[in-house]
Structure 1
């Protein structure tokens, strides 16, 4: 033995790939006599590099029968499906952040419009045409938007390197160098958002009448309103469709995002209305909550935006851990934690005796043969008729087949009849798991033919079973009556439970029967947990931008009301309010705003946790009060701090100067 391989990039999944692997020089293979009639061998060429797409285009037309070209998405359809879902999920997360940032742009552009009305009116008085003014404003925003988008792109590249560090062992080496699309797409997205939400206020600003120099009471110029919402909504729609890459998925994403934001803002508005019924003692809370009620639309938008980001982080931290713990707790206390595979027929008695002696268990070793489905009702079974990737993958694989005279524990017949005691042979039939039968379009009464090492075996489907896969017992997709597969080459498999402190049995088993493969379920669960933790770090990193979008909405809303807050503070200070009182009132306002966002986030995370536990994982739901404590208190403190920092400047302005600016 020259070295120990810690990770093999060629492992593509499947239970057998979890066992020990031996790597040797291919020139030494003939001397091993491993390639014998009846053995199966597969040859793989691993290709990587920047020219992979060109190689794929060259190799595809030259493939012959029995050859195929696979990528990480093709080697296992479930991996491709998982990657596609993960890509869309992360894309959706980024889009939520983009939409919140777009709201912040709209609020900032609205304030820009109000602050530059007088300057625009003066320019009109000096002879500037509407077109000239619009061109000037657009050039300013293009330069600003390009610089901001470029800075965002550079931050994203730095974030990618940080993400690699967060993922740790999941990524070896550096990621591929970003192409020009990686630089162009964020800049295009940034400029599109800027024009979609800032252009209408700029058009309105270019149309300000010169008369405003003399009449400050004139309202805002037209060109906003419906046009602003239409352009902004169109921009978001185009970006979502671009991300989704198909109309149906894009429409679902648009509807889901809008429903999510509308539900959050609507719930926030109801909470603000509810505040009116509460008694408020003291100037600080009375004034702070009055600020929320005076601007219900803006406050609802801020609360809803913050709640989305906080809820996402709660789901990825506390809820994820709760679901994993609840799932583990839902497993039967006697659930097997080790599988024994590849037990030869002449080893069954010896392995059974060893398990009885070392673990004090009566292990039932189940026979297993591997066969490929080749015919259904006498017609060749082809997977090209399936549009579903999972159906094609299941149809092309070799099935683990077994036989028994009694219905296994954890199996329940849902359609048809189980064979009677004493029945045997092909006439007794076969039983399929209902899920795979539905996927492959097989029903009771169909005749199936399997190819088992060159021998064809046929039987009629007499029943469909529902299988409890969470029991960790040995289960099979296809079961035959005794007398059909008995004469074919077979191995045996079993599952046992071993105490964590008893490792001697494993050493004894491996030493006595080195061909037996032992799968440690506990180690598998630890690996799954490790992968989940690492992937969650990546998703949390993306959702930080969603939370940042919510903070941007908060800061933009504060900036949009800066002039109004400065005027209110000046009036109140003139009437005798101290700077300390006003600061405390602002702090109370943002504490309430953050607490309301935390309540919504905790409620949304709890509801999502219930749906996931009940509908997806089918495990008992456990209410976690810590979710509410951390969600509400953490949101209140963070939002209060951000809001207080954003409004300090309004309290420092001299009251007289603020009143003069307002007039």
Structure 2
């Protein structure tokens, strides 16, 4: 009978399997299984939520541009581009937008006309309310008006309104449309008509200011292929959910935060796995040495470990995915009221990513330690080996996750900034901790603290690594939470709950004070009023910034020529004092004759500095002003903001209209219509729908980031707890030695409390320094936001560190002192 047919082999296999089970559950391998389970569960839950939140944010952003991708053009979109899009399988529709006068039998009004097809929009929701029904598309012969136009034109459903030469029937009210504009100066009351009626209006003539848009829906690959195959004209621009002003910036930063949180959680979970595996290796060195002394070869030992690892990974994968599903559901509970229904599908990505990440971190995290374990000599059964005699080739296993990280991170500067910052900070923090310990050792302390400092100083490398690991865990925990806090603070500051939601423009000087009186008597929160004159910037220090050759090089010329401030008329104003929602960053605000204050963004783009002389043109009148100050402006706060604010003497004699913004509560809706009737020449821009939708997105983002940050904090706490438990477990041999030398239980207890109490305080303080530095770098260069400091962190993090160590030591002290007598 051959060996393969021998009954001994199956019996041996059965014994190895039973041994593997016993080793897994009764030995020291179960903490590795728990760590791996938590890695899979955390990555699965976080990846699932990341996928859902990203899809929700993208869907929200695309619903606000009415398609997956939009092409904006000043000229008609070519038939060849539309044909190419259809060839690629994209759904296409178009819009023509222009301003013109609308005439009823009783009044007239300047309106913004949108000519669309019946399949508009491709994304988002168009709600049109007629006399007897609600519909979602525009049909030929219909004219749909924004609510204010009914009072401005004095019409009702069924009346005729002339748009150019076409007489169209008023079909009803535009209740909701997907496209939102964030520039109050460019808005007029909107009307919707069908593209089949456009030619009859004859409103578009040579020289007319018309804007064209083409809307595309399809897969990411199709959209990318269309963009790559299209050469844009100078007047054309692609618009996507990440380029659409306020929401685009918000979506982009949410995606950055989600990716950053995911990689930090993976790093902390990996550290937990490596620590537990190192502890397992240390506890099983004598077992492997004994097996080798009894004749076991490496092949047998590898099979023995392979069975354990196979069982470990299978159990961890099953438990991790089940736990991950439950955790993902649990994380969504706070978001139930704000997440759309049905939720976007998470797809296969979280399942694959969680298992792939587990494999990638397990190969070096477990493999290096086990390789070293199998290289332990048989002599180790009699004498503990301190030198590392195993092959250095095992460290090549690190290349597997490193290469995967390179492929994943790619050219993402935020990830590289984070990883590089973490590496440098870990070295600095470890060195700083040891320097502080060295300084403390020079002072006189009690016996317990002296012994604790001596123990830390005896092994500076191990103590430095331990302190760096504890500090880094607390620091990463703080980074995740602080980034979430700073992002939300920035978004909420740009659109606070009391932000203006209605703009009144074109207020004549004769109406100005009376209009403000009506607002004040109605108890409305309003901004200051601003005189408005439209004009152009024409020279900088006597040079035309749009000239092809300014002597600054072609790159500068191209940059300046492409700046939006040079391609259109701007809104100029003048004031005695700086707006309260602007920040002075250079120069000084003074009312010296001939002065102008410039917004920092346009100043940087055009190379404008203090003392420069700028030339302007208003209604063919040319004048100049000297730059006296630079202001920082938050364009997203829904308040009146300007590139240029002049001293009163420069423009006071020019004819101007006035602008004011105010906030209307839900119960004051009738007031907007009343203002429209009493002041028909004043243009009212009602942004309440837009503000409500942005607030809803902010609420979703706020809760989502809070949940993700909480998961990241839990991962950090798990790492800290694991680190402390393993560190204390390794102290048992030292404690026995202390007892042999005559130390009492109380002295040993005091020493342990002193050592870990000192480490807790040092780790907490140093972690605050590291977290503040890393968050400041990420906020400034990653998210491009103003840096702020967090005084509360200096109290919370050291206290958290102390509390964690108190909990761990309290639970383990009895076990540590169990072998000791009184």
Q: Deviations over 1:188-211 (max 9, x none)?
A: 322222222332332222222233
Q: 1:143 to 1:102 in 2, by over 3 A?
A: same
CA-CA distance at 1:259 after TM superposition = 1.5
Q: Look up the SS of the partner of 1:517 in the other structure.
A: strand
Structure 2 partner of 1:629: 795
2: CA distance between counterparts of 1:582 and 1:317?
42
Q: Is 1:245–2:406 an aligned residue pair?
A: no
Q: 1:572 aligns with which of 739, 757, 779?
A: 739
TM-score, normalised to structure 2, is 0.57
User: Given that residues 289 and 378 in structure 2 are in contact (C-alpha distance below 8 angstroms), is that contact kept between their aligned partners in structure 1?
Assistant: yes
Q: Which has the higher helix share?
A: 1
Structure 2 partner of 1:352: 513
User: Given that residues 146 and 187 in structure 1 are in contact (C-alpha distance below 8 angstroms), is that contact kept between their aligned partners in structure 2?
Assistant: no
User: Given that residues 316 and 536 in structure 1 are in contact (C-alpha distance below 8 angstroms), is that contact kept between their aligned partners in structure 2?
Assistant: no
Q: Look up the SS of the partner of 2:476 in the other structure.
A: helix
1: CA distance between counterparts of 2:558 and 2:347?
30
Once structures 1 and 2 are overlaid, which stretch shifts more, 150-159 or 388-397? 388-397
Structure 1 partner of 2:273: 105
CA-CA distance at 1:258 after TM superposition = 0.4
Structure 1 partner of 2:296: 128
Once structures 1 and 2 are overlaid, which stretch shifts more, 154-163 or 237-246? 154-163
CA-CA distance at 1:262 after TM superposition = 2.3
2: CA distance between counterparts of 1:140 and 1:182?
26
User: Given that residues 292 and 378 in structure 2 are in contact (C-alpha distance below 8 angstroms), is that contact kept between their aligned partners in structure 1?
Assistant: yes
1: CA distance between counterparts of 2:189 and 2:338?
20
Q: Flag structure 2 segments of 5+ consecutive residues without an equivalent.
A: 1-128, 135-172, 539-543
Q: Look up the SS of the partner of 2:290 in the other structure.
A: helix
CA-CA distance at 1:401 after TM superposition = 1.4
CA-CA distance at 1:116 after TM superposition = 1.9
Q: Look up the SS of the partner of 1:246 in the other structure.
A: coil
Structure 2 partner of 1:401: 570
Structure 2 partner of 1:551: 718
Q: Is 1:95–2:268 an aligned residue pair?
A: no
Q: 2:423 aligns with which of 258, 264, 289?
A: 258
Q: Look up the SS of the partner of 1:11 in the other structure.
A: coil
CA-CA distance at 1:538 after TM superposition = 1.3
User: Given that residues 469 and 475 in structure 1 are in contact (C-alpha distance below 8 angstroms), is that contact kept between their aligned partners in structure 2?
Assistant: yes
Write the mapping of 1:148-187 to structure 2, written as runs, cut at 5 A: 148=316, 151-152=319-320, 155=323, 159-166=327-334, 171-187=339-355
Structure 1 partner of 2:705: 538
Structure 1 partner of 2:659: 493
Q: Is 1:312–2:479 an aligned residue pair?
A: yes
CA-CA distance at 1:322 after TM superposition = 8.9
CA-CA distance at 1:270 after TM superposition = 3.5
1: CA distance between counterparts of 2:585 and 2:720?
56
Q: Is 1:343–2:505 an aligned residue pair?
A: yes
Q: 1:403 to 1:303 in 2, by over 3 A?
A: closer
2: CA distance between counterparts of 1:391 and 1:199?
57
User: Given that residues 586 and 630 in structure 2 are in contact (C-alpha distance below 8 angstroms), is that contact kept between their aligned partners in structure 1?
Assistant: yes
Q: Deviations over 1:459-483 (max 9, x none)?
A: 7987556235269874433689989
Q: Deviations over 1:178-234 (max 9, x none)?
A: 344433333232222222233233222222223334x3244455137x7666754x4
Q: Which has the higher strand share?
A: 2
RMSD over equivalenced CA pairs, Å: 6.1
2: CA distance between counterparts of 1:352 and 1:596?
63
CA-CA distance at 1:256 after TM superposition = 1.3
Write the mapping of 1:404-553 to structure 2, written as runs, cut at 5 A: 409=578, 433=599, 435-439=601-605, 466-469=630-633, 474-477=640-643, 492-494=658-660, 509=675, 512-513=678-679, 516-517=683-684, 531=698, 534-535=701-702, 538=705, 541-542=708-709, 544-545=711-712, 548-549=715-716, 551-553=718-720
User: Given that residues 585 and 632 in structure 2 are in contact (C-alpha distance below 8 angstroms), is that contact kept between their aligned partners in structure 1?
Assistant: no
Q: 1:486 to 1:113 in 2, by over 3 A?
A: same
User: Given that residues 331 and 707 in structure 2 are in contact (C-alpha distance below 8 angstroms), is that contact kept between their aligned partners in structure 1?
Assistant: no
Q: Look up the SS of the partner of 2:532 in the other structure.
A: strand
Q: Is 1:204–2:372 an aligned residue pair?
A: yes
User: Given that residues 474 and 720 in structure 2 are in contact (C-alpha distance below 8 angstroms), is that contact kept between their aligned partners in structure 1?
Assistant: no
Q: Look up the SS of the partner of 1:344 in the other structure.
A: strand
Whose RCO is larger (CA < 8 A, sep 6+)? 1
CA-CA distance at 1:354 after TM superposition = 2.3
Q: Flag structure 1 segments of 5+ consecutive residues without an equivalent.
A: 424-428, 657-663
User: Given that residues 111 and 559 in structure 1 are in contact (C-alpha distance below 8 angstroms), is that contact kept between their aligned partners in structure 2?
Assistant: yes
Q: 1:98 to 1:364 in 2, by over 3 A?
A: closer
Structure 2 partner of 1:426: none
CA-CA distance at 1:103 after TM superposition = 3.2
Q: Is 1:268–2:430 an aligned residue pair?
A: no
Q: Deviations over 1:510-535 (max 9, x none)?
A: 553375436899x9799779938943
CA-CA distance at 1:571 after TM superposition = 6.2
2: CA distance between counterparts of 1:208 and 1:354?
88
Q: Deviations over 1:10-56 (max 9, x none)?
A: 33644469x998797859988998977757565564747xx454466
Count of residue pairs brought into register by the alignment: 617
Structure 2 partner of 1:188: 356
1: CA distance between counterparts of 2:378 and 2:352?
40
Structure 2 partner of 1:660: none
Structure 2 partner of 1:10: 179
CA-CA distance at 1:172 after TM superposition = 2.1
2: CA distance between counterparts of 1:446 and 1:372?
7
Structure 2 partner of 1:659: none
Structure 2 partner of 1:303: 470
User: Given that residues 430 and 460 in structure 1 are in contact (C-alpha distance below 8 angstroms), is that contact kept between their aligned partners in structure 2?
Assistant: no
Q: Look up the SS of the partner of 2:390 in the other structure.
A: coil
2: CA distance between counterparts of 1:168 and 1:386?
50
Q: 1:486 to 1:310 in 2, by over 3 A?
A: same
Q: Is 1:72–2:238 an aligned residue pair?
A: no
CA-CA distance at 1:117 after TM superposition = 1.9
Q: Look up the SS of the partner of 1:173 in the other structure.
A: coil
1: CA distance between counterparts of 2:816 and 2:279?
15
User: Given that residues 369 and 400 in structure 1 are in contact (C-alpha distance below 8 angstroms), is that contact kept between their aligned partners in structure 2?
Assistant: yes
Once structures 1 and 2 are overlaid, which stretch shifts more, 299-308 or 598-607? 598-607
Q: Deviations over 1:447-504 (max 9, x none)?
A: 9999xxxx9x897987556235269874433689989x989xx9642458999x9999
